[in-house]
Amino acid sequence: MSGRPLDVLEASLQEEVTVRLKGGEEYEGILTGYDQHMNLVLEDTEEEDTTIIRGDNLVSINP
């Protein structure tokens, strides 16, 4: 697998991930979509059924 961020996201589609944001918040859910700005769509998070995360706020994404 390449280390390019969008390649990592592509490999993580339909997988459960943990996303950490700049403010310290963490979200766990199924990665169902993303775009070239690294905006993410997570399904089945604790907070909501669907959560959209703006790429500007991302610190890390872990499987």
How many Cβ atoms from other residues are within 10 Å of residue 42's Cβ?
24
pTM reported for the whole predicted model? 0.89
For residue 42, what is the domain's CATH number?
2.30.30.100
Domain count, the chain: 1
Give the pLDDT score at 1.
46
Model confidence at 63: pLDDT above 60: yes
Question: Domain limits at 17?
Answer: 5-62
DSSP string, the chain: ----HHHHHHHHTTSEEEEEETTS-EEEEEEEEE-TT--EEEES-SS-SEEEE-GGGEEEEE-
pLDDT digits (tens, 9 = 90+) for 17-55: 999 999 999 999 999 999 999 999 999 998 789 999 999
